[in-house]
Structure 1
Amino acid sequence: MRWIIALDNGFARISYLCGWVASVALILMVLNVFYDVLARYAFNDVSIAMQEMEWHLFAVVFMLGIAYALRTDGHVRVDVFYDRWGDKAKAWVNLVGALVFVVPFALLIAYYGYSYTMEAYNLGEGSADPGGLPHRWIIKSLIPISAIFMATSGLGMVTQAIRVLKLGESYTGGKSQGGLA
């Protein structure tokens, strides 16, 4: 069962990397908004590109934050029931939920998101506003990329559940004891 621990730790590293990138993007977004507000109200200067960068950074925060939230149990679920269950019941819920919902949904998003991104790339899509950001395909490429990371976190939910079921580990704040947590 060492391979399952190594695999789970690898999935955890990927999810935590997504969380780190989302955190950095959040800091950059706050700085961007601060600059944009300062430029607008103190210097009467407006930059369409900086305004568009705000929602691009928000997309990074949201879409990469999903993978991190799945790994750390920060996502929405009916905790009224889940919190009262034992570790084995939680493991079964996570195992089935990941295999039936998370991974297939993420792969579906990746499949359709790829063609959406390629269409934007082939069209040379950019901002409709003058002075806006060019190369809209770059931010659209985050859709299939984040979906792959979401699928990876879903597989991490599976390996984490197997650790609880087979190795008798317990959930501690959404992380099994033997992992990177």
Structure 2
Amino acid sequence: MKHLIMIERGFNRVGDTLGALASLLFLLLLLNVVYDVVMRYVFNDVSIAFQEMEWHLFSAVFLLGVPYAIKAGGHVRVDVFFERLSHRHQAIIDILGAVFFLLPFCSLVTWYGIDFAKESYALGETSGDPGGLVYRWIIKAMIPVSFGLMVVSGLGLIIHALNTLFHPQASSLDQDL
């Protein structure tokens, strides 16, 4: 019993860390956008690199925020029906959804995304715009990293659901920690 709860806490720490990192990157994105707007409209100066950094940061926020959303229960499902079910039935749906949809899809994207990023790195891919960002492989590498972390969050979701099924008192108390 204690082992599953300890494992769940470990997965939760990973998810919480990703949520904090996504929040920090969002603040950097906000600062980047403010800087870009001020430079454009006050000083009539445009930086292609800062414009590209906006979509790089937005991508990182989204890609790192999704594993946190899975951990926090903010992922997509039909909540109108789901919330009306017992905790036991919710746990069963979470397990089935993770095993049959989340884990296979995220594993495939991770697997094929690695080659996508490696190819970008091998080609030395950079921005097509003059003054744009170099090392495009970094943002492309975020795809397999993020989907791999979604697999980790999915495993955490399964363990949480198992704790809910087999140790409902311990699992409900642990949610508040």
TM-score bucket (shorter structure): over 0.9
**Does 2:165 correspond to 1:150?**
no
Classify the secondary structure of the residue corresponding to 1:6: helix
1:178 Cα deviation from its structure 2 partner: 1.2
Q: Is the 8 A contact 1:87 1:170 kept in 2?
A: no
CA contact 1:26–1:57 (8 Å) conserved in 2:
yes
CA contact 1:11–1:156 (8 Å) conserved in 2? yes
Which residue number corresponds to residue 129 of structure 1? 129
Percent of aligned pairs with the same amino acid: 47
The equivalent residue for 1:114 is 114
Equivalence for 2:94: 94
- SS where residue 109 of structure 1 aligns? helix
Q: Distance in 1 between matches of 2:77 and 2:145?
A: 24
Distance, in Å, in 1 between the alignment partners of 2:6 and 2:175 is: 9
Structure 2, unmatched stretches of 5+, are none
TM-score (ref. length: structure 1)? 0.94
Provide the C-alpha distance between the structure 2 equivalents of 1:68 and 1:164, rounded to a whole number of angstroms. Answer: 19
Matched, 1:71 2:71: yes
CA distance in 1, matches of 2:129, 2:153: 36
SS at match of 2:75: coil
Deviation at 1:113, TM superposition (A): 0.5
Query: In the TM superposition, what is the alpha-carbon distance from 1:169 to its structure 2 partner?
Result: 3.5
Gap change, CA 1:34 and 1:130, over 3 Å in 2: same
- One-letter amino acid of the counterpart of residue 116, structure 1: F
1:46-103 Cα distance to aligned partner (Å, 9 max, x none): 0000000000000011001100100111122111110100100000000111111111
Q: How many Å separate the matches in 2 of 1:64 and 1:153?
A: 11
What amino acid does structure 2 have at the position aligned with 1:136?
A: R
Whole-Å separation in 2 of the counterparts to 1:68 and 1:75: 9
Cα offset for 1:170?
7.9
Task: Give the corresponding residue for 1:178.
Answer: 174
Structure 1 or 2: more helix by fraction:
2
TM-score, scaled to structure 2: 0.96
Residue number in structure 2 paired with 1:35: 35
Aligned residues between the structures: 177
Inter-partner Cα distance in structure 1 for 2:126 and 2:144:
19
Give the secondary structure class of the aligned counterpart of 1:92: helix
Q: Does 1:16 align with 2:16?
A: yes
Helix, strand or coil: the match of 2:174? Answer: coil
RMSD of Structure 2 on Structure 1 (CA):
1.3
Specify the SS of the correspondent of 2:129.
coil
For 1:82 and 1:169, how far apart are their aligned partners in 2? 20
